[in-house]
A and B are shown apart, each in its own frame.
Chain A
């Protein structure tokens, strides 16, 4: 493809991205990374497709209701791009599975719906020294940032305490918007192009049609990343 050149397309082809969750955010991220040509996409979800998911979870359709999300997602992504490898895994992301799920990953996309699991991914990203592309959504609101271990604040620096579990429904368009920010970040990171959404938290208010960004800083007493030597580049 002209935009990235042969060299860029090779970089994408050689990359492995782990997408944590095949729901609202995971759907648009996976679809666009697949058609972009990211060579290996590993996707984990432990859920079943329900009718109420279909307003936003565009990996799944009407006829997938009742199927495992991993199976439905795998089928859809392979149909979109048969030239890539898709490993859609029916698994709960927890302390026992997270290492094997992320083992070969060059980056992790946070498409989760809860902070305890996000903190787990944050620690793995720091341990493996790979980026974590964070996104979160609620209603018409969303947030995103790109975490580069050693260079940017980690997820725990930014959000030391988890907000209460989300009870608000998500608008599908919000998942699309934030998912596209995340997928764009993955693309730029893999191609080493542009400026990442690093050290900045992007806030999207769809109802007001406003994008804001705020500067974020490392917490010197962060329980997850403080005291770690910056990576050698």
Chain B
């Protein structure tokens, strides 16, 4: 199934802004993002901690609606989903 994955700000610079991914049945939102980021260590480490969990400041959206990043392993992707992942920016 086709899923759109979007990274914003620093995450986009490291991993690409918009990816079209062939998702698998039973794949979670977190699983999808982990797989997409796996090839880029700096990108992966910016998003996930050493246990593979989303860093606590990371914001995860599914179809324009925010999901709790700690639930992202239990939420499964479906055809046509748009997943967005971004960091708040801190400068001023």
Instruction: List residues of A whose CB falls within 8 A of some B CB.
Output: 21, 23-26, 110-115, 135-139, 141-143, 158-166, 168, 170, 175, 203, 205, 208, 212, 214-217
| Cβ-defined partner of A24 (8 Å) among B12, B59, B64, B92 | B92
A142–B89 contact, CB under 8 A? yes
List B14-47 residues whose CB lies under 8 Å from chain A.
17
In the complex, chain A residues whose CB is within 8 Å of the CB of B64:
214-215
Contacting pair A170 B91 (CB below 8 A): yes
Name 29 A/B residue pairs within 8 A (Cβ), A-sorted.
A21-B92, A24-B92, A25-B92, A110-B92, A113-B90, A115-B88, A136-B88, A136-B91, A137-B89, A138-B10, A138-B89, A138-B91, A158-B88, A159-B57, A160-B56, A162-B90, A163-B87, A163-B88, A163-B90, A166-B90, A168-B91, A170-B91, A175-B92, A203-B86, A205-B17, A208-B17, A212-B8, A214-B61, A214-B84
A86 to B52 alpha-carbon distance, docked (Å)? 50
**B89 with A159: CB separation less than 8 A:** no
Q: Can you add 4 more A-B contacts, CB < 8 Å, to A138-B91, A159-B57, A159-B59? A: A21-B92, A113-B91, A137-B92, A161-B56
| B-chain residues with CB within 8 Å of residue A138 when the two chains form the complex | 9-10, 89-91
User: In the complex, are the beta carbons of B57 and A162 less than 8 A apart?
Assistant: yes
User: Which residues of chain B have a CB within 8 Å of any CB of chain A?
Assistant: 8-10, 12-13, 17, 56-57, 59, 61, 64-66, 84, 86-92
B86: chain A residues at CB < 8 Å are 203
Q: Tell me the complex Cα distance, A149–B68, Å.
A: 23
A158 and B65 CA atoms in complex are apart in Å by 13
